[in-house]
């Protein structure tokens, strides 16, 4: 009773406890609500928000050039040749409109449809959020007559809007520095991440010229620059994806459809082409925003593809009238597609805009594909036959995989009896608190088993050469002695049989040596998860353990672990005395206590959560390095040799 009374007193809830956050305080208090995360993804999201405003100017027809520059000290500058943010006084707020845009949440010209018929920034929080999360931000506006400038610090106005010159040009320039108080993990921008996003924007807006520059290096000769402009639009996007993956094409020409609704308030573009691979790549966008989780536009596309192709499978005698329809996944095997829709009132799920919710766009995309694909197949029967033949082969492999799964189940009717023999399972059966380490080799597996927390941590050692999942369908996976232990241990099944509710462990952790062979194992497993257990990655269950590279010993009892050469050097500088340095060449060199302390203890370990982008990159890299074509592999090695570190030879 006394404890209860104490708890009540400590958690007293009165009128005075109600907080009212003014201005941009709410953004700084809860940044994750506006940019998703304060990690690297959120940091780069700041750039996207400002660039998206420039893209919106392009969509409105007033901008054809955007320049993004990473300046020294990781300062970002984004400039465009659009109309320029209005500088006149906003009567409702009693301050210049540009000031309203950067200091007031939910303020912008994209609500009523007057200034922008179509835009990605519909919440009116982008510019103000970037301002709030920056140490400082400066905006310059050219209105064709004068150049205006205003400066802010952590969202607060520190200078009035002032005229600093004259000009005949129009446009907006925003320069800002992300606040390390918010982005504590890093404020360093990844050029490759920005380049990928800006390249997408150039593809999605045919003819727009986007320039990315990196001027952080003291030596100007080391500065990077990328000029992006694609007149072919999303068809060029499909071509680029195939070129990057270096796949053989099933048919020569890219299939492209486009249409708008009767009111001309929504439009859809679809481009797709088939290759001889066994996986599909479907990228969807709404108002130039990548919808990673799909949405109604993607649903409409998939439904139309399945409907039309089943109809033509019967029309061209690939299916009998009595046969069952093929599944959508059969028709999507080997497909690379880009879907881009533009609509006046886009309904996204959350500020990060991962999924589109507009129901009317589903019908628009469905009708476009349904009507125009029929016409295309009537005029290109040879292409239709190639696609349908591949789909029938995919369906046959799917049936073989189903029979193989049923055979495995009949041989192992009891769930516990079917667990792989080398799995050292944990005691808990609650997936919310359990984790499984997939460990390279029996030696490391032994150390992990002895060092783990048996209540929550399971260990699954892998040994021998893993299956090369390049050019492999599902039926080749079932029964494979290297991958089946992983599938069985996780309990979810794969591909169409995948069921996330049956996942036995909340965290699936890849733990491999910090060398070339370990990197190969990680890439193999990531590619396997991405292709055959994609929801596992999408829902954030896959992690990569980060074992240390070095153990620095001072005296007999003081030990320090370094996870990079830079960290090793820093430790040596700080100790400034005689030390012993051990370079770990493999996990097996660590005893159980060391492995627990550095890599498995939840309180001290470092782990990387695998994102869909990570898995996509692993899949693409693996296709290049393990594929049949020699030239892409040679080019990849030549381009990336200079970045190799910690190479054991």
CB distance 430 to 573 below 8 Å: no
Q: Distance of alpha carbon 9 from its chain centroid, rounded? A: 45
Which residues on adjacent β-strands are paired with residue 67? 79, 211
Does residue 263 carry a catalytic annotation?
A: no
Task: Return d(Cα 301, Cα 341) in angstroms, integer.
Answer: 11
Task: Return d(Cα 518, Cα 524) in angstroms, integer.
Answer: 10
Which residue among 440, 474, 475, 619 is the active-site one? 440
The residue with tokens 């890299």 is: 621
Degrees (nearest 5) of the Cα angle 33, 36, 39? 125
Task: Return d(Cα 498, Cα 512) in angstroms, integer.
Answer: 25
Write out the E strands in 65-167.
Answer: 65-71, 75-80, 89-90, 95-96, 134-143, 146-153, 156-157, 162-166
Radius of gyration of the chain (CA): 28
Which residues on adjacent β-strands are paired with residue 462? 440
Q: 280-302 b/e with 16+ CB inside 10 Å = b? A: bbebbbbbbbbbbebbbbbbbbb
CB distance 501 to 431 below 8 Å: no
Task: Return d(Cα 526, Cα 520) in angstroms, integer.
Answer: 10
Which residue among 470, 513, 597, 619 is the active-site one? 513
Which residue among 185, 415, 517, 628 is the active-site one? 517
Write out the E strands in 386-462.
Answer: 435-440, 457-462
For 289, the enclosing helix (H) or strand (E) is strand 289-290
Does residue 515 carry a catalytic annotation?
A: yes
Return the C-alpha torsion angle 252, 257, 258, 260, nearest 10: 180
Residue 596 DSSP label: I
For 531, the enclosing helix (H) or strand (E) is helix 516-532
Which residues on adjacent β-strands are paired with residue 461? 439
Token readout for 410 is: 């009949």
CB distance 340 to 269 below 8 Å: yes
Which residue among 195, 515, 589, 616 is the active-site one? 515
Cite the active site residues.
440, 513, 515, 517
């Amino acid at each position: 009773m006394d404890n209860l009374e104490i708890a009540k007193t400590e958690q007293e809830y009165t009128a005075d406890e109600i907080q009212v956050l003014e201005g941009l305080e709410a953004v700084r208090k809860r940044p994750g609500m506006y940019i998703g995360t304060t990690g690297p993804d959120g940091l780069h999201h700041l750039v996207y928000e400002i660039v998206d405003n420039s893209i919106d100017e392009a969509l409105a027809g007033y901008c054809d050039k955007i320049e993004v520059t990473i300046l020294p000290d990781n300062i970002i500058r984004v400039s465009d040749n659009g109309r320029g943010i209005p500088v006149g006084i906003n009567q409702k707020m009693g301050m210049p409109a540009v000031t309203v845009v950067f200091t007031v949440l939910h303020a912008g010209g994209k609500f009523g449809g007057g200034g922008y018929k179509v835009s990605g920034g519909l919440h009116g929080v982008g510019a103000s959020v970037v301002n709030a999360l920056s140490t400082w931000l400066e905006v310059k506006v050219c209105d064709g007559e004068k150049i205006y400038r205003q400066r802010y610090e952590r969202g607060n106005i520190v200078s009035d809007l002032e005229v600093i010159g004259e000009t005949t040009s129009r446009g907006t320039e925003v320069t800002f520095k992300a606040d390390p108080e918010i982005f504590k993990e890093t404020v360093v921008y990844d050029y490759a991440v920005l380049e990928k996003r800006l390249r997408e924007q150039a593809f999605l807006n045919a003819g727009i010229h986007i320039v990315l520059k990196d001027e952080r290096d003291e030596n100007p000769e080391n500065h990077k620059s990328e000029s992006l402009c694609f007149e072919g639009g999303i068809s060029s996007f499909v071509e680029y994806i195939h070129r990057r993956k270096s796949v053989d094409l099933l048919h020569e020409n890219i299939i492209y459809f486009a249409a708008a609704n009767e009111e001309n308030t929504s439009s859809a573009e679809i481009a797709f082409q088939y290759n001889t691979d066994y996986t599909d790549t479907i990228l969807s966008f709404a108002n130039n925003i990548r919808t990673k989780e799909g949405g109604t536009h993607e649903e409409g596309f998939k439904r139309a593809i399945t409907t039309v192709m089943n109809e033509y499978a019967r029309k061209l005698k690939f299916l009998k009238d009595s046969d069952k329809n093929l599944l959508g996944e059969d028709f999507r095997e080997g497909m690379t597609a880009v879907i881009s829709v533009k609509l006046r009132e886009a309904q996204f799920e959350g500020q990060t805009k991962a999924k589109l919710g507009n129901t009317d766009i589903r019908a628009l995309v469905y009708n476009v594909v349904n009507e125009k694909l029929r016409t295309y197949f009537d005029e290109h029967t040879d292409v239709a036959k190639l696609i349908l033949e591949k789909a029938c082969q995919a369906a046959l492999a799917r049936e073989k995989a189903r029979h193989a799964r049923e055979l495995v189940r009949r041989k192992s009717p009891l769930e516990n009896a079917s667990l792989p023999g080398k799995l050292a399972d944990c005691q808990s059966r609650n997936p919310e608190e359990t984790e499984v380490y997939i460990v390279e080799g029996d030696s490391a597996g032994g150390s992990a088993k002895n060092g783990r927390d048996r209540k929550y941590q399971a260990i699954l050692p892998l040994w021998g050469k893993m299956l090369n999942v390049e050019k492999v369908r599902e039926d080749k996976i079932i029964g494979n002695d290297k991958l089946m232990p992983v599938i069985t241990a996780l309990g979810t099944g794969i591909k169409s049989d995948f069921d996330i509710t049956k996942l036995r462990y909340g965290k699936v952790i890849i733990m491999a040596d910090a060398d070339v062979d370990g990197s190969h194992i990680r890439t193999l497993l990531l590619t396997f998860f991405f292709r055959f257990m994609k929801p596992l990655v999408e829902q954030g269950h896959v992690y990569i353990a980060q074992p240390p590279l070095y153990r620095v010993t001072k005296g007999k009892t003081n030990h320090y672990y370094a996870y990079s050469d830079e960290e090793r050097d820093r430790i040596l500088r700080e100790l400034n005395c005689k030390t012993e340095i051990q370079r770990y060449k493999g996990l097996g060199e660590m005893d159980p206590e060391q492995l627990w302390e550095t890599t498995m203890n939840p309180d001290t370990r470092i782990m990387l959560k695998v994102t869909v982008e990570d898995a996509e990159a692993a899949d693409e890299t693996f296709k290049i390095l393990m594929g049949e074509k020699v030239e892409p592999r040679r080019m990849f090695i030549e381009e990336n040799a200079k970045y190799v570190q910690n190479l054991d030879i």
